[in-house]
Amino acid sequence: MTGTPGTTARTVRIGGASGFWGDSMVAAPQLVQSGRLDYLVFDYLAETTMAILASARAKNPDMGYATDFVDIAMKSVLAEVKQQGIKVVSNAGGINPHGCAAALKALADAQGIMLRIAVVEGDDVSALMPGLRKRGTRDMFTNEALPDKVLSANAYLGAAPIAAALAAGAEVVITGRCVDSAVTLGPLMHEFGWQVDDYDLLASGSLAGHIIECGCQATGGLHTDWEDIPDWAHIGYPIVECHADGSFIVTKPEGTGGKVIRANVAEQMLYEIGDPGAYLLPDVSCDFRDVTIEQQEENRVRVSAAKGRAPTSQYKVSATQLDGFRCAGSMVIIGIDAEKKARRTAEAIIERTSEILRQSNLPPFTSTYIEVIGSETLYGPHARTRQVREVMMRVVANHPQKAALAMFGREIAPAGTSWAPGTTSPGGGRPSVSPLIKPFSLLLDKTAVQPTFVLDGSRHAVDIAAGTRDPQSPPPRFPEDWVDANEPQEEVRLIELAYGRSGDKGNISNIGLIARRAEWLPLLWKRLQPEVVEGYFKHLPAGKVSRFYLPGTASMNLLVHDALDGGGPSSMRMDPLGKGMAQMLLDIGILVPRRIAVQARKGHPRG
């Protein structure tokens, strides 16, 4: 890094060392040992993670933060981080950021390292919940009334408090709930002197953060053409080289595995966003539609600046409540008609345990769910593997009482000697009963929240712009109309025409599709009408489909509503986060002119 904060002829290098709580222990050492970082950032907090942290704090008030940040990541690199002058920003604080900071300070003290740690406060809004409930505030997605009791309630803060803490001299900034990209945008605001109304720059910095917030998903991870990505075991974690004009380069440490390529970075840009013309963050409303992504050289991809507008006047709040308990058990079934045997086994378990509940004068299960893993359960009518001879039966039940599910768990193992031939299990004992923590979301006026940061024992308030109360989404855009000529047609799979990646936003599955050739996008738009995608996923069941066009990358973003059985920890499915939705859609048949079919199969020979 050269120059001083606020100058333009400089590059700020930021390494993304965590995409979630549970990411690899090799990430931080790999990035730090590259020897060329200005910042090391960690993102830990998905909605599911907040539910886990709420459960942990309910058992132990000293918990509630991502312990891996201190015990594994920082423990392995703290001395080197201090020596190199690398600054660290992390949302590992979860719902107990001061507990996280205290643990990190104890680690630093034990190593004889002086460390200035700032803690960002203000995201915990649980004290406001009774008043919001009385005023009739409801869930922003389901319109359900707010529960009487909550385990946690945290507003998604932005990057301004992080930038302020860095300006005050913090070497490490620990936050609670903030938007994932803020851990990158905050350093860029500080280093380049970007102001709170530099909306294009804030949108660009947010995009840089969005690209690296999921770790190796920017360096070859989850890529559609996964066989083209080398050396998974040593895959490199992402580095963004950021410039004052908002553009940046995506790369990785030299000598690492994986591959930084245009298509993979484009997949990540589309990952888990809604309307790409109005991606709403606390600091800015982003427009990624005209962003271009270009391969510069091997393992170096340039991303152009984005556009931005004023943010809204509200924070999104992620809250959790205890909604009973859950138990999920499984058995392996082998032999002829394995799928049929597995389903009958699961049905018998539910029938038997339901009768036991009635005989014990206990309420019935809140809900139950059966899956047969290995028989393409999620594909429904699109399943191809019908005559499988080994499957895993998975049966799930929810109930308001823990004891009822303890009984349910005990009654799964008897299937091994009672019913279907070929029933076995890899071991592990009875399935455990876990709290069923249900997330919910609401909107809260920014005026109700006062972000602060604490550094060296002093608390500092951070002013936040009010935002606009009447945000205007830009008008939708559409590709040129595709007109079918009088020429022979052939059916090819979508994977031969496009790259795809999917994720979740609550109960919405987001599927990003990038045309393998830009000129094919109008054809894909014509063929993948919302009703086509709705019909393909109708069995899940799934609701309506919205779609958006991004001309800069010849791509589209599909939002499949009500597709994830509630999503996150609420979902009973084995894919609660919609990670497989793109993979499923990429198998759909698309009718194309024969000349395009030949080009597609030549360019994607796996076919």
pLDDT digits (tens, 9 = 90+) for 405-436: 999 999 999 999 999 999 999 877 899 999 89
CA dist 281 and 562 (Å) reads 23
Q: How confident is the model at residue 282 (pLDDT cuts 50, 70, 90)?
A: very high
pLDDT 10s digits, 436-489: 988 889 999 999 999 999 999 999 999 998 899 887 888 999 999 999 988 999
The helix or strand, by DSSP H or E, that contains position 396, with its residue range, turns out to be strand 390-399
Give the span between the Cα atoms of 39 and 278, in whole angstroms.
Answer: 28
Strand-pair category, 87-90 with 12-16: unpaired
pLDDT at 546 over 90: yes
pLDDT at 607: 39
CA distance 360 to 357: 5
- Percentage of the chain modeled with pLDDT above 70: 98
**Span 193-217, pLDDT tens digits:** 999 999 999 999 999 999 999 999 9
Q: Which residues pair with 491 in a beta bridge?
A: 591
CA torsion 210-212-213-219 (nearest 10°) is: 120
How does residue 370 score in pLDDT terms, banded at 50, 70 and 90?
Answer: very high
Structure tokens at 339: 């799928």
Instruction: Give the rounded percent of residues in the chain with a pLDDT score beyond 90.
Output: 86
What is the predicted pLDDT for the residue at 606? 53
Give the residue among 65, 98, 70 at the shortest CA–CA distance from 459: 98
Contacts of 443 (CB under 8 A, 6+ apart): 140, 314, 315, 316, 317
Contact 523, 562 (CB under 8 A): no
- What span, in angstroms and rounded, lies between the C-alpha atoms of 351 and 237? 48
Q: Using pLDDT thresholds of 50, 70 and 90, give the confidence band for residue 8.
A: low
pLDDT of 5 > 70? The answer is no
DSSP letters along 209-225, please? HHHHTTGGGGTTTT-TT
pLDDT digits (tens, 9 = 90+) for 389-409: 999 999 999 999 999 999 999
- The pLDDT, as a whole number, for residue 151 is 86
Backbone angles phi, psi at 69, to 5 degrees: -60, -45
User: Which residues lie below 8 Å from residue 223, measured CB to CB, with a gap of 6+?
Assistant: 229, 259, 261, 263, 264, 267, 499
Q: Which of 1-5, 148-152, 367-371 has the lowest mean pLDDT?
A: 1-5
The model's pTM: 0.95
Question: Does residue 274 carry a pLDDT above 50?
Answer: yes
Rounded to the nearest integer, the mean pLDDT of the chain is 94
Would you say 121 and 452 are in contact if contact means Cβ atoms under 8 Å apart? yes
